[in-house]
Amino acid sequence: MTSEGQELSGEGVIRLRTDEFELLRQVVREIRELSDDQLSALSVRRDEVDVLRTAVRSVHGELADSDYTALDVVLDRDSAGPPAVTRTEPTGTARVTGMLTQATAVRLPGLIHYVRDWLGGLELSHRTGSDPAQLDALADRFPSAGSSR
């Protein structure tokens, strides 16, 4: 796939541009606000959301003073964490391990679309500064449950 934000070289790496990572961070914050019943309906446990939120916050904190243009997020086979960031100076890309498992990455498109539908256009814009199309594009960055990735 291309470096436009999808899997690279078949090794389970997803490239996110800086703005996409920031949107993911905001979406994870909104996912955290979902009730246990809503999460259960999506087959997601509260502890999974908490782990994801902590990992995303950790990576964001580590990159706060960095000048990077993209993140290569390595999808771990089993448990993620703690996140580790390696900067690649010439390309402006940061490589992140320990942030996402493959299982969580497959669930993200459904969670992102749920947040989009749950908030609706106006509230989505107010709370995340984005629109439904931007969330759809973000969801497309991650493998879906039916994909062979």
In the prediction, which pLDDT does 11 show?
Answer: 58
In the chain, the N- to C-terminal Cα span, in Å, equals 11
Per-10-residue mean pLDDT, the chain, length 149: 41 89 94 93 91 92 86 83 80 88 90 91 86 93 69
Query: Which distant-in-sequence residues (6+ apart) come within 8 Å of 22 by Cβ?
Result: none
SS3 annotation, 44-76: CCHHHHHHHHHHHHHHHHHHCCCCCCEEEEEEE
* Distance from C-alpha of 20 to C-alpha of 51, rounded to nearest angstrom: 19
> CA-CA-CA-CA torsion for 138, 82, 76, 116, nearest 10 degrees?
-20
**pTM, 2 dp:** 0.84
Per-residue pLDDT at 4: 43
Contact 45, 69 (CB under 8 A): no
Q: What is the rounded distance in angstroms from the CA atom of residue 20 to the CA atom of residue 120?
A: 19
